[in-house]
Amino acid sequence: MAHTYEELHEMTVAQLREVAEAQNSDDLKGFKSMHKAPLLLALCKVLGVDPHEHHTATGIDKPALRAQMRELRVAREAAIEAHDHTELKVVRRKLHSLNRAIRRASA
């Protein structure tokens, strides 16, 4: 049975140990005494599963937002050089809101 990282991560330690028991591998030696984190990594290695979660941004155009953020960083540096504090605050708030939008869409 093919497992994904999300499925394995949601399992209890007892369930992970049952999956490990079904596998015949030297990498899982001592699995009955392992805690969840090392057991999960060992199982991922044996099963050939990528051992971390992948977050994808949904509902937004991430490349366009990143391009806009690059332009804002240039504008931020220009505002710092010009000692324009009001413009600097506006640019920083825009950067912050775009960064939060990307994070919100990636969760």
Q: What is this structure's pTM? A: 0.57
Band (pLDDT 50/70/90 cuts) for residue 87 is: very high
Tell me: the pLDDT tens digits for 31-71?
A: 899 999 999 999 999 998 888 777 788 889 999 999 999 99
| Cα–Cα distance for residue pair 71/11, rounded to 1 Å | 44
Interatomic CA distance for residues 83 and 77, integer angstroms: 10
Among 7, 32, 2, smallest CA distance to 17 is for 32
CA angle 30, 36, 39 (to 5 degrees): 40
Specify the pLDDT at position 57: 82
Asked if residue 1 has pLDDT above 70, the reply is: no
